[in-house]
Amino acid sequence: MKKTNHFGYWLLLALFAAGILGCQKLLDEKPDQRLVIPSTLADFQALMDNFGVLTAKDLVSAEISADDYYLTDADLAALPGEYERRMYSWQKDNLFEPGSNDWAYLYKAVYSCNAVLEGLEASTIERDTRFNNVKGQALVYRAKCFLQGLGLWAKAYQVSSATDLGIPLRPNADFNMPSNRATVQEGYQKVLADLKAAVPLLPVKALSATRPSKAAAYGLLARTFLYMGNYQAAENYADSCLRINAALLDYNQLNATASYPVALFNPEVLFSTFSPPPTILTNTRAKMVPELLQAYQANDLRKQVFYLQSGGASYFKGTYFQPALFFGLATDEMYLTLAECQVRNGKTDLGMQTLNKLLVARFKTGTFVPLVASDKATALNMVLSERRKELVMRGMRWMDVKRLNAEGGNIVLKRTIGGIDYTLTPNDKRYALPLPEDIIALTGMPQNER
């Protein structure tokens, strides 16, 4: 789908770009840009700082498909294209506009990462700390791309069905190499391999939050293992991440009534990637579902910080890259991942302590009553409820529903359009979105079952 061009978003992006470009040497001008061949470390770093390809093109289809918002029939009918309407109602096919869609954005970014990795290995550049840093960045960005792709086009990871079809794991920058779908198991193992290889190469703190750091690699490892249901590994990596950066914003210090209360690149941000909101998710159209809004308690400042009210409905303001949608990594996600895994691993009291450490920073000063759970099931429900409320519109709800349903969560998604109910039952085949039809026609790869 085409992504909406908002003046505020592009102005913010321009200012951000100016800051990044001031820190580095760009590729030298050449008479014919097609002849530009990276050869220096600065060249390769410039490719990794190409925010238009790597940083600002996160995949939004999961958020369009998720259930935290709804559209009125009038707003749905007013959408300029049919693809978002079909994705919204969980149709079986034709969800992606040919050539301008999440698949194209994903593999353009993967191509850049592969070009950097191949170029570095073929170069005579000294293998020093700076060389390692650039290589580590490319590995993290590629892993992030593959993980998002698996979240969209593959079923939830299960050991019993890990041989299901996943996505192509393009290993190099050769356009002529045929695309073949790897298994889900192979896809997740590739993500883990890239991230583990990146950890020793990266600095503890990056020059910019858009450049991966050691904490970012740990955070993505925690997210990946959580999606895989390996809760001990996810706990370990979330803890490793928070040992580097455990900062939390005190929401009492924010101006909750401001259009964008949360500062760009605030201390919670570990790795900043984002996407301009697609037409269907703009904050004048997408309305938040009542069940989510009603879950916030009276003194929970998130309800004011995250949402604006207009005409009897609530709309999402944004969080860590307003007005764009932030799909990167932040410490709040790591606290929630750590808490969930601690509970699942039998450390219920410790998990509640971790959760309360996050929540006290979200409630009006002096009003928060620490949550207490008498048993593991109650604690887990509390953590998952807070995860949904905290990570709203962060690109994770779709994958959370998939992974929880794979473990018996029994979450049913429902939308009503024109008086007709549309439902998505647990483990429905449509949770793995169809590959774009033009890609199927071009490559001959098998389509997802419908």
pLDDT tens for each residue of 354-382: 999 999 999 999 999 999 999 999 999 99
Q: Decide: residue 148, CB within 10 A, 0-12 exposed, 13-18 middle, 19+ buried.
A: buried
Question: Percent of the chain at pLDDT above 70?
Answer: 92
Give the integer Cα–Cα distance in Å for 428 and 443: 26
Give the integer Cα–Cα distance in Å for 303 and 290: 12
| Banded pLDDT at 161 (limits 50, 70, 90) | confident
Q: What ranges do the domains of the chain cover?
A: 41-443
Q: What residues have CB less than 8 Å from 249, skipping those under 6 apart?
A: 262, 266, 267, 268, 361
Q: What is the mean pLDDT of the chain?
A: 93
Neighbours of 171 (CB within 10 A): 12
Give the integer Cα–Cα distance in Å for 308 and 314: 6
CA distances from 304 to 101, 254, 261, 298, 378 (A): 33, 10, 9, 10, 27
| Banded pLDDT at 1 (limits 50, 70, 90) | low
Range scoring the smallest mean pLDDT among 33-37, 149-153, 300-304, 316-320 = 33-37
Give the integer Cα–Cα distance in Å for 263 and 407: 37
Longest dimension (CA), the chain: 70
What would the pLDDT profile of 92-141 be if each residue is shown by its tens digit? 999 999 989 999 999 999 999 999 999 999 999 999 999 999 999 999 99
The pLDDT assigned to 162 comes to 85
Q: Which CATH number fits domain 41-443: 1.10.730.10, 1.10.10.60, 1.25.40.390, 3.40.50.10420?
A: 1.25.40.390
On the question of pLDDT at 62 being above 80, the answer is yes
DSSP state of 2: P
Which helix (DSSP H) or strand (DSSP E) does residue 309 occupy?
A: strand 307-310
Which residue spans within 148-222 are E strands per DSSP? 165-168, 181-183
The pLDDT assigned to 10 comes to 47
CB 377 within 8 A of CB 424: no
Neighbours of 191 (CB within 10 A): 27
What mean pLDDT is predicted for residues 432-437?
98
The pLDDT assigned to 323 comes to 86
Which residue spans within 14-122 are E strands per DSSP? 69-70
Give the integer Cα–Cα distance in Å for 90 and 403: 18
